[in-house]
Amino acid sequence: MPTATNEELPIETLPKVIQTQAQYRQIARWFGDLVGKGRARSAEETKLLRLLALLVEDYDRRHALPPDKSTPPKSYSSSWSTPGKRQKTSSPFSDSAAM
């Protein structure tokens, strides 16, 4: 990862919205390099680290979620509800008389 400021970087290396797996891997490498610096990171590098984290989060949100028609694993659904029984809630907004 270059230590130059954003203004000094060639346009090809500036962070941008991640569209491909290759771009994702490159951003992940930069992110890892910056995380590895720990407290030795400059203020500019910390800003870049935050931007890279947002780009990775955005890509993951767009590409890593299961399709809409998926169902939760059986282990989850059994903890959500039991047939014939209502789950107790501890919400102050719930109506205890309805339970």
51 and 16 in contact (C-beta within 8 Å)? no
Cα 57 to Cα 43: distance, rounded to the nearest angstrom: 21
Give pLDDT, residue 86: 57
pTM of this prediction exceeds 0.85: no
Residue 23 vs residue 5, higher pLDDT = 23
Average pLDDT in the 24-39 region? 92
Strands (E), 1-99: none
Average pLDDT in the 75-79 region? 57
Domain ranges for the chain: 18-67
Give pLDDT, residue 49: 92
- Packing angle of the helix pair 21-37, 43-63 (nearest 10 deg): 140
Please give the mean pLDDT across all residues of the chain. 74
SS3 87: coil
Give pLDDT, residue 90: 53
